[in-house]
Structure formats: structure tokens, C-alpha cells
A = this chain, B = another copy of it.
Amino acid sequence: MRKIAESTVRRLSLYLRFLEEFEAKGIATVSSGEVARRGGTTSAQVRKDLSLFGSFGKRGMGYSVPELTRAVRDILGLGRPYVVAVVGAGNVGSALARYSGFASRGFHVRWVYDQDPGKVGLSWDGLRVRDVENLESDLADHPPDIVVVATPEGAAQGVADRLVTLGVKAFLNFAPVQLAVPEDVMVKNVNMAIELETLSYALRHR
């Protein structure tokens, strides 16, 4: 399969949101124009994005909502569950570990770690915070599919190194630091400071 731009993947993820809404309302078919309007894009863009992955819908008939929903879920790799570990049980880690939206999309937080003795042992919705010392003993046999790094800046790289050694291939990183990882490991950075500063930049240069 040819290399797909991340912007395309992000749009597909958004289309899936809309398709699930349509499905929940019992709508049987949608046109590319209806998906586009919902997402602030054009019907040509929707058709182009989908055409990268196959042939969907019939000319003039629109797309079958259940079929396209299933196809986009499959394209996005959502046809299977993912085991997620969260490292760092501060405000961000805690919010993420408890966020029900994860599980409903197949991302199951099974592990939460911290190094603070005041947090280790706490139970969040049935999930017990474990000492980060246990990373290796807990995870060596079955490394999680995705690790959310929500540690302070100074701890993030060390944690990532240990998890890479255990075989983790995907990180969602909230620590304000660029993680150095091998080429076959993916890191998605979520940095609130950057999001806020794109807003302050825009307010400054209006």
C-alpha cells in the first residue's frame, strides 16, 4: 500500500465520527457531500480520501452507512482491541486513564504506573496504580500495544527507553519533550503548550 499522509488518516478518523453519528440516527446512506458538510471539507476531498483505500458506494447512490463505517474502522485498524498502559498518574494521566471514550473505541487502559509512593496503590475505577519499578516484570511477556507517556519532562525518555526495550511500538506522548526512539517505533506528541501558542500566535497577529 502506498504511503498515506497523516492528514488523510486524521480526516478518515473524523469521517468515522460522522458515520457513527449517522449510523446511530439510523441513516442508511450518505453522499460524500453530506460527510463533507459535517466535517468542513469538500465532497471531492471525501471521495479522494476514500478512493485511496478501495471502491466504496455506487455512483449516484451514495455510500451505505453501515458498510462504510465498517470499512473505515478497518482501515484505521479498529477491527481489534488495543491494550494501553499509562505511565504517570498526575492530572493528565488520571484524566486519560479514566476517559471512557478510549474503551468504547477499543483502546483498553489495563495498566497505570507512577513512581510516587503517594499514588501507587490508588484505585481508579478499578484500575490500581502500580509502581513504575514493575514495568519490566509486568509487561515483558505481553507488552502493551500503545503506551501513553504522561510523566514529568525529565522522566519521559527513561521510561520510553525501558518500554522500547520491552517491545512497545507506539507512544502517545504528553510530556513536553521530543522522545528519541528507534525508527520502527511511532510517537504521537500531544503538547498543550503548542496548541495554546498557536492560539496566542493567532491572537497576536490578527
Interface residues of A (CB under 8 A from B): 1, 4, 6, 9-10, 12-14, 16-17, 38-40, 75-79, 82, 91-92, 94-96, 98-99, 101-102, 105-107, 145-146, 169-170, 172, 176-178, 184, 186, 188, 190-206
Contacts and interface: CB of A to CB of B under 8 A. Distances in A.
A80 to B, nearest CB: 8
B178 A195 contact: no
A190 B196 contact: no
Given A95-B91, A96-B192, A145-B203, A197 B101 contact: no
A199 B178 contact: no
Contacts of A178: 14, 38-40
Q: Can you list the 8 inter-chain pairs with the closest CB atoms, starting with the nearest?
A: A77-B204, A77-B200, A91-B95, A95-B95, A13-B197, A13-B194, A170-B199, A76-B197
